Structure 1
Amino acid sequence: MPAPQKKIIFSIAGVLSLACALGTAAAVGTQRWVTGTMLCKTGALLVNASGPELEKFIGQIRYGLFHGERVRQCGLGGRASQFSFFPDLLTIIPASIHVSVVLFCTALIVFALVGTGFFMFNAFGSPYETLHGPVGLYLWSFIACSCGCLILILFSSEVKIHCLSEKIANFKEGSFTFKTHSEQFADSFWTILVCSLVHVLNALLIRFAGFEFPFTKPKDSETTTGAVDLMY
């Protein structure tokens, strides 16, 4: 492929990698990772609520990695309150998983920025092999994509398997018990998924630029090796 086209491809990949870093940083700071509704089970059972009456006992909850907001509905109107994960909720949530999610988000931002620098260096500089050349570009894209996948897996397990929303809703609740009524991942979670897919796209762009995937042997070398073996 001609050099100008390679520069364009690497520049596009660098811009995409930078967008992923900025998107991840924005996602980390928002409360739009999970949104849902919580049913005040105790209040609903006391009045035997059903149908339209049940709506008076369904509140909202939304949260991110550091803080969130919930609206309690126990039949007497909604009461909004703010909460933070650090340090308030660390005693009731799977802290090791949650901290790991935050660390992998940081790693994703760092490696996306590193990938941006190396893509631009390959586009406008004079790179050499190892970590500056195509092998390095594949490496940074792979690490960033792996971090994104780990974020999605760990956070999904924290929310679904460890019932994170329910634990938050019942935090410091002495007389009322809340159950998850509905729950869905929000914009920031899907932003991480898109960023992971973009790094896969970057790897395909590197291949499209004419560079083989790592650990693949060119056919010419295999033919030469076979000829040498026959000589001996």
Structure 2
Amino acid sequence: MPNRQKKFIFCVGGVLSFACVLVVAAAMGTQFWLKGTVLCKTGAQLVNATGPELEKFMGRISYGLFHGQRLKQCGLGGRPLRFSFFPDLMGAIPIVLHGSVLFFCAVLIVFSAVASAFFLFNAFSRPYETLHGPLGLYLWNFICCVCSSLVMTLFASEVRFHRLSEKIANYNESSFVYKTHSEQFDYSYWLILFTFLTHLLNILLIRLAGIQFPFQEAKEPDVSSGASDLMY
């Protein structure tokens, strides 16, 4: 591939990696990772509410990695409340799992920035081999793919298996019991999937630039043809 086209591909990869830095940083600061509805089970059972009457006991909840808000309804109007995971809910959430999500988000930001720098370094400089050359481009993008998949998996397990929404809704509640009615991941969660796909695209761009995948066996040169070439 001509050197100019290779530089262009590396520049595109650098811009995409830097975009991932901004996207993940913005996603971490929002409260739009998950949204859902919670049912005031105690209030609904007291009046034996069914069908449309359940709407009076249906509240809403949305949260991210640091903060969120909930609207509790138990038949007497809504009670909006904002909350923070740190330090308000440290006793209610699976702190190790939630901390792992934050940790891998931070690692994803760092290595996306590293990948962006290495793309530009390979585009405008003469990198030496190992981590400054093609191997580094593959390595940093592969690490970003792993981290983004871990963020999605850990957050999904925190929500589904540890019933994070119910723990938030029932925190410091002594009179009412709340039960999750519906949940769906919001757009900040899907931004992490966008990051994963972007780094996967970067790996394909590196291969498009003519750089072989790591550990791929190089084709052995034909010794006989080389000897015949020397004769002429």
Q: TM-score range by the shorter chain?
A: over 0.9
1:2-151 aligned at under 5 Å gives the runs 2-151=2-151
Cα distance, 1:93 vs structure 2: 1.2
**For 1:78 and 1:222, how far apart are their aligned partners in 2?**
78
Q: CA RMSD in A?
A: 1.3
**For 2:71 and 2:64, how far apart are their aligned partners in 1?**
15
The two structures have a TM-score, normalised by structure 1, of 0.94
- Which whole-Å deviations, capped at 9, do the CAs of 1:75-119 have from their partners, x for residues lacking one? 011110011111221111110000010010000000000100000
Q: Gaps spanning 5+ residues in structure 2: where? A: 225-232
Report the residue type matching 1:175 in the other structure.
S
Cα distance, 1:223 vs structure 2: 8.3
**For 1:128 and 1:33, how far apart are their aligned partners in 2?**
41
Question: Residues 10 and 157 of structure 1: is their aligned pair in 2 closer, same or farther, counting only changes over 3 Å?
Answer: same
SS in 2 for 1:8: helix
Report the residue type matching 1:122 in the other structure.
N
- Which whole-Å deviations, capped at 9, do the CAs of 1:32-60 have from their partners, x for residues lacking one? 00000000000000011111111000000
Cα distance, 1:3 vs structure 2: 0.3
Report the residue type matching 1:50 in the other structure.
T
**For 1:29 and 1:18, how far apart are their aligned partners in 2?**
17
- Percent identity over the alignment? 62
The two structures have a TM-score, normalised by structure 2, of 0.94
Cα distance, 1:222 vs structure 2: 9.7
**For 2:129 and 2:76, how far apart are their aligned partners in 1?**
68
SS in 2 for 1:219: coil
**For 1:36 and 1:145, how far apart are their aligned partners in 2?**
28
Cα distance, 1:197 vs structure 2: 1.0
**For 1:37 and 1:93, how far apart are their aligned partners in 2?**
18
Question: Residues 223 and 191 of structure 1: is their aligned pair in 2 closer, same or farther, counting only changes over 3 Å?
Answer: farther
Q: Gaps spanning 5+ residues in structure 1: where? A: 225-232
Q: Which runs of structure 1 show a deviation greater than 4 angstroms over 4 or more consecutive aligned residues?
A: 221-224
- Counterpart in the other structure of 1:227: none
SS in 2 for 1:220: coil
SS in 2 for 1:87: coil
Cα distance, 1:221 vs structure 2: 5.9
Report the residue type matching 1:182 in the other structure.
S
